[in-house]
Amino acid sequence: MTKYPFKLITSITSPNDSGTRPLSWITHIDIHHWGPPDAGLRIEGVTAHLCNPNAKDRYGNPAPVSSHLVVSAGIVYQIVDFSRIAWHAYPDNEHSIGIECNPRCSKDDFETVAQSIAYCWDLIGRIVPLQGHKDANPALGTECPGRYYPRLKELYNLALKYYRRATKTQPKPTTLPRKKGKKMLFVYLKDYSTGSHKPGSGHLYALVGSGFFCRFTGQAQANRFAEEYGNAVEVTDSMWNALADSAKSGSNSSGYRDSVDADISRIANAVVGE
């Protein structure tokens, strides 16, 4: 399973590589296609060829090759680890990731290739640019990656969309030390989108005082209040509800409020007691 909506197959490994490398060597991704769209080659056969140490070229000469990924609509074979040097775009192999793509370049093929690029970025820990195989060695005169080549910018932008969606993390509660002398409790309900509170996603924060309960979301607002009231304390659903019910029955005129005010400082000043 991955964070991306394709079937990832890692049970097949190609022996065709030049050993290990640090991921810091990777500067870009080379996009390939596996031949003319009308050749009728299927991903299983292409993968088998890329894993064959005795493969030959059209003239019968030894020509073993490989790539890191082989991609068609909804399916991604990873046959070489990114920490190893695959044989896909000499003399560019040491510094690149190679992705072999279905040459028909259908909508679903294109989407899965974009997802596989995002997957690469995710695993190496950074975004690197794309280029076509023909850019790696112009003297070769190859047409590879065919239909993908004029759409590399579009492919990059779509991959970026998938990458940002998959790597988006929930905001973490602040770790600033609790300050003294404030009659205020700053609490949060962790990942409340999976619990009984579902107005959004991530942590739900609240400022609790005597007869005062103000809930809100957003790390920026949480950091502002933390500067005044110290580290947010995690509470359970039942404790959250008890605090809210207690505040609603309190005497403070501010009472129970559903969202943070535009003017954060005004809310802080409404708390009873210093």
Q: What is the pLDDT of residues 220-263, one digit of tens each?
A: 677 777 777 777 787 777 777 777 776 665 533 343 333 333 33
Structurally, at CATH architecture level, domain 7-167 sits in 3-Layer(aba) Sandwich (3.40)
Report residue 119: phi and psi, to 5°: -60, -45
Q: Return the pLDDT at 183.
A: 60
When mean pLDDT is compared across 30-34, 95-99, 169-173, 227-231, the lowest value belongs to 169-173
When mean pLDDT is compared across 154-168, 170-184, 258-272, the lowest value belongs to 258-272
- Identify which has the larger pLDDT, 173 or 77: 77
Amino acid at site 143: E
Cα 90 from Cα 138, distance rounded (Å): 11
Cα 45 from Cα 202, distance rounded (Å): 44
pLDDT-derived band of residue 177, with 50, 70 and 90 as boundaries?
very low
Contact 156, 121 (CB under 8 A): no
The pTM of the whole model exceeds 0.85: no
Mean pLDDT of 37-64: 94
Strand ranges in 5-125 using DSSP code E only, listed in sequence order: 7-9, 17-20, 28-33, 69-72, 75-78, 84-86, 96-101
What mean pLDDT value characterizes the chain? 81
Q: Which of 52-61, 114-123, 159-168, 256-265 has the highest mean pLDDT?
A: 114-123
Is the model's pLDDT at 269 over the cut of 60?
A: no
Q: How far is CA 152 from CA 3, 119, 145, 218, in A?
A: 23, 17, 10, 36
Is the model's pLDDT at 184 over the cut of 90?
A: no
Distant-in-sequence, close-in-space partners of 156: CB < 8 Å, separation ≥ 6 = 117, 129, 130
- Identify which has the larger pLDDT, 52 or 213: 52
Tally Cβ neighbours within 10 Å of residue 182.
16
Is the model's pLDDT at 174 over the cut of 60?
A: no
pLDDT-derived band of residue 210, with 50, 70 and 90 as boundaries?
low
Q: List pLDDT tens digits, range 10-23.
A: 999 999 999 999 99
Contact 42, 204 (CB under 8 A): no
User: Per-domain residue ranges for the chain?
Assistant: 7-167, 185-269
Contact 111, 105 (CB under 8 A): no
Q: Return the pLDDT at 148.
A: 98
- Identify which has the larger pLDDT, 190 or 70: 70
Is the model's pLDDT at 115 over the cut of 50?
A: yes
